[in-house]
Amino acid sequence: MSQLLFDQFAKEIQSEIGIEVGKGDLARFARYYELLVEWNERINLTAITEQSAVYWKHFYDSVTLLTVPEFDRSADLLDVGAGAGFPSVPLQILCPDLKVTVLDSLQKRISFLQELFKELHLPNFSAVHGRAEDYGRDPKWRESFHQVTARALARLPVLLEFCLPFVKTGGYFFAMKGPDGEAELQESAKALETLGGKLHSIRTFDISQIEGKRTIIAIKKIRPTPKAYPRKAGTPAKKPIV
């Protein structure tokens, strides 16, 4: 089963995304899966642990971000609420020049990611424990990333307040969503206007091995985010800008 899965996984990435997946890449994905299952017995990383499901619903879904023309495979990337490393770890396995920073509010998940980086020998990866609402107000972090992404973290109006403060003017926030992505976008007009973002593109597509549509929303930062945002920790989720 594993070898057939690896072959299908590599073939799909090459045909749909245009990247050749080498033996070293497949070895990293295999080790990633092993560590994910091992650590998941101690801390809650994912409800999905069956090998094929992890490869398609987590690994492959993560790297679909590479199909977005505006995504720069050698620039910096901040992954907000990275959890078990999706989408940032699969992205860097395939794009070693990508300079990745992950931010997560749970120290146990950061410990997992730090162990993962060592095991996979990822060259340009750092993991930081903290909340987006706090780091988004830090001058060292604020408006300092060309690209920011988040996957399965919160509804889009909340995500925009978490993520747009980190994006440089002219840079992009990529929201990775499921079938409700377009509906969430309809809720986000006020947040976009308030926080300095503008819809650049929306891509909705199917992955044959996954039920339900996938949506990637690209938001361009067109002006600086007002200093009042992000609001204090917990407020964006309780009182979203809608």
* 50 located within any domain: no
- Separation CA 80–CA 94 (nearest Å): 20
Asked if residue 223 belongs to a known ligand binding site, the reply is no
pLDDT (average), residues 106-117:
95
User: Cα–Cα distances in Å, from 235 out to 76, 132, 162, 241?
Assistant: 28, 12, 11, 10
Largest CA distance in the chain: 53
Q: 45 lies in a domain?
A: no
Q: Looking at residue 204, what is its pLDDT?
A: 87
pLDDT at position 174, please? 98
Instruction: Give how far the C-alpha of residue 3 lies from the chain's centroid of Cα atoms, to the nearest Å.
Output: 27
Structure tokens at 82: 């990275």
Residue at 176 is within a domain:
yes
Domain count along the chain: 1
- In this structure, is residue 28 part of a structural domain? no
pLDDT at 108 exceeding the cut of 80:
yes
Q: Are 115 and 35 in contact (CB under 8 A)?
A: yes
Question: Residue 1: is its pLDDT beyond 70?
Answer: no
CATH number, position 79: 3.40.50.150
pLDDT higher than 90, residue 220 = yes
Task: Decide if 29 is inside a domain.
Answer: no
List, in order, residues 6 or more apart from 174 with CB less than 8 Å away. 65, 68, 71, 147, 148, 149, 216, 217, 218, 219
Q: Is 127 annotated as a binding residue?
A: no
Q: Is 50 annotated as a binding residue?
A: no
Is 132 annotated in some ligand binding site?
Answer: yes
Residue 188 domain flag: yes
27-49 tens-digit pLDDT: 999 999 999 999 999 999 999 99
151 has binding-site annotation = yes
Strand partners, 151: 176
**Whether residue 146 has pLDDT greater than 80:** yes
- Could you tell me the residue range of the domain that residue 133 belongs to? 65-238
